[in-house]
Chains A and B, each alone.
Chain A
Amino acid sequence: MAFVLVVAAAARAGGRGQGDPRLDYILQCQGCHLADASGAEAVGVPRMKGVVGRFLQVEGGRAYLVQVPGVAQAPLDDAAIAELLNWMLQRFSADELPEPFEPYLAEEVARHRSRTPIDVPATRAELLARLERLEH
């Protein structure tokens, strides 16, 4: 019975997460982003598959992936977020990653997470505009 309470407490209090980025993805992200990260654009859930890694190609993108509310507010500590982001980027968007891919570390996550933008959609729009310019 003890571990039952422990799991429940870990899930509720947040913190270290499941200790496995795949499980953290299922529990914290998959409900909306779906198992293959294809998202649900019709209801405003962005597609991450084949896309999300491109954010690392522009200035501010690396911080944004930490600061986007679904990530910044997830009940996971900085180390678990770092693991989750590294896992997601390589699993869903390996082809878009810059070479060499520099994995997130807990310290970097903590830094970005402590200064989230006030206007998230505007930040996102600016990043997408930068990506657009990158292509032309």
Chain B
Amino acid sequence: MTSPLTLPARLIRALGHRVTDNLISLGIAARFFVALLASSAICLRRPGLVVREMYFIGVMSLVIILVSGLFVGLVLGLQMYDTLERFGSGDIVGMVVALSLVRELGPVLSALLISSRAGSAVTAEIGLMKTTEQLSAMEMMAIQPVARVVAPRFWAGVFSVPLLTSIFNVTGIFGGYLVAVHLLGVDAGTFWSQMQSAVDFRIDVVNGIIKSVFFAVAIIFIAVYQGYHATPTAEGVSLATTQTVVKSALVVLGMDFVLTAFMFRGL
């Protein structure tokens, strides 16, 4: 269609182009997800592959998770105590720290940290494998790259993120404990009993774990998808890595709102 079009028609065509483009990439992503699940059986046949990736995604992320969790807890303790003390209820600082961590901050912050620390690495690794034609070489040897390279990383991420989230929560609560009890002088017994009376296992803890599983699937799928579909050039890999972090952050925050609306509405 080379016929000269009026400006409104061209604008409408540009809009339509964007929509169809996005729909097509959504379709490609959905097919990739199905292919990924279909070829996941290798993870059961060769668990060593998943263990190796869990080392890189899980164990190597421990330091950043531990340090960030501790400092988030310390800051939460200070800030919440300061605000609550204005209402004369500084004693419930333990409850506020635990609830904010278990429900919200733990799943969201650890997902963001892991996508920056491990998601980008996964994208770069797979993207570089594609650029150096290792993936094509595998296909040539009748090895499915989706099964051999993508699926173990995906499942390693899905297992690691909820575990890392729990570790983040515990270090955060420990940080809150340090500030509240040892720095600000809240009674240790009050700190724990207020927390225990307010945090519910099913509503707060289980919903937090469900959140982190959703985030895990989202961030690690974005990472492997971006890597696998990166343009096989140096520029393409760098773009894909950036896209992984940006899209993971947006998707995690968006999903968090939707999940929270479903989980804690009216409860």
A and B associate = no
Residues of B within 8 A of A (CB): none
Q: Interface residues, chain A, CB within 8 Å of chain B? A: none
